[in-house]
Amino acid sequence: MAAPASPLVPVAVLMLLLCGAPRTHGRRSDVRVITDENWRDLLEGEWMIEFFAPWCPACQNLQPEWESFAEWGEDLEINVAKVDVTEQPGLSGRFIITALPTVYHCKDGEFRRYQGPRTKKDFINFISEKEWKSIEPVSSWFGPGSILMSSMSALFQLSMWIRTCHNYFIEDLGLPVWGSYTVFALATLLSGLLLGLCMIFLADCLCPSRRHRPQPYPSKKLLPESSQPLRKVEEEHEADDADVSEEEAERKEGTNKDFPQSAIRQRSVGPSLATDKS
């Protein structure tokens, strides 16, 4: 007759399962999550970054290989990271993500796009054998830290904000589609008017309009050499005017001198005529 099984055996098996489950499912991932707040960490050290979306089937197939590759990060002295483009649209525009999944390699601020096979072994060989040196880095004009890509990131964030507002108007507020479009059209017109007023104000402050003011008559000392003939003509006119004024003054003095003599003669002649008549 078989001996009865000990009740301690099922309990021990259950404890092993309970203790082993957290180690399997609760293990911390070695893949770092990159967002708009900490993306500048990529500019220091060596990185491999994956851009993915949860709804993408190819991204879902890559996740096990990417997680296994991240376990070798410490041995390869490399940081393995990922970016969810559905939650970080700004980074999607900053790195010009046009296909999913997209993998980038970064070494001290130089970004290169990885286009090789997507297995753990290929990723490890790409880093250990430094195959990234054969790839041309992204131009500084299109680097994630450039002004152009920063503007592109802001544009992507704005588009995502508009989409969120559109869904809020339709789903939460119950507005029709044309009502949401009307709200955005009015907001666009208003923002354009405000932007125009601000530009006019800045232009008026930086380059104020100059009112026409009569220029004072330049002095003779400040006249340029090119105006010397004109100055001579003016001096001649002034001399002629002075001569004319002197002649008129002399004539007036002559008339004034002749006037009393003629009066005296008339007076002297007047009594003599009277005596002759008498």
Average pLDDT of span 179-203 = 84
What digits encode the pLDDT tens for the residues 124-164? Answer: 999 999 999 999 998 878 778 778 877 777 777 777 777 77
Greater pLDDT, 81 or 210: 81
User: What was the pLDDT predicted at 65?
Assistant: 94
What's the pLDDT tens digit per position in 214-224?
A: 555 555 454 45
Using the predicted structure, report yes or no on whether residue 71 has a pLDDT greater than 80: yes
Residue 273 banded pLDDT, cuts 50, 70, 90: very low
Three-state DSSP string of the chain: CCCCCCCHHHHHHHHHHHHHHHHHHCCCCCCEECCCCCHHHHHCCEEEEEEECCCCHHHHHHHHHHHHHHCCHHHHCCEEEEEECCCCHHHHHHCCCCCCCEEEEEECCEEEEECCCCCHHHHHHHHHCCHHHHCCCCCHHHCCCCHHHHHHHHHHHHHHHHHHHHHHHHHHCCCCHHHHHHHHHHHHHHHHHHHHHHHHHHHHHHCCCCCCCCCCCCCHHHCCHHHHHHHHHHHHHHHHHHHHHHHHHHHHHHHHHHHHHHHHHHHHHHHHHHHHHC
Q: Which tens digit of pLDDT belongs to each residue from 4-59?
A: 444 444 444 344 444 443 333 445 678 999 998 899 899 889 999 999 999 999 99
pLDDT at 278: 41
Q: Which residues are catalytic?
A: 56, 59
Q: Is the pLDDT of residue 205 over 80?
A: yes
Provide, rounded to the nearest whole percent, the portion of the chain with pLDDT above 70: 65
Q: What pTM does this model have? A: 0.55
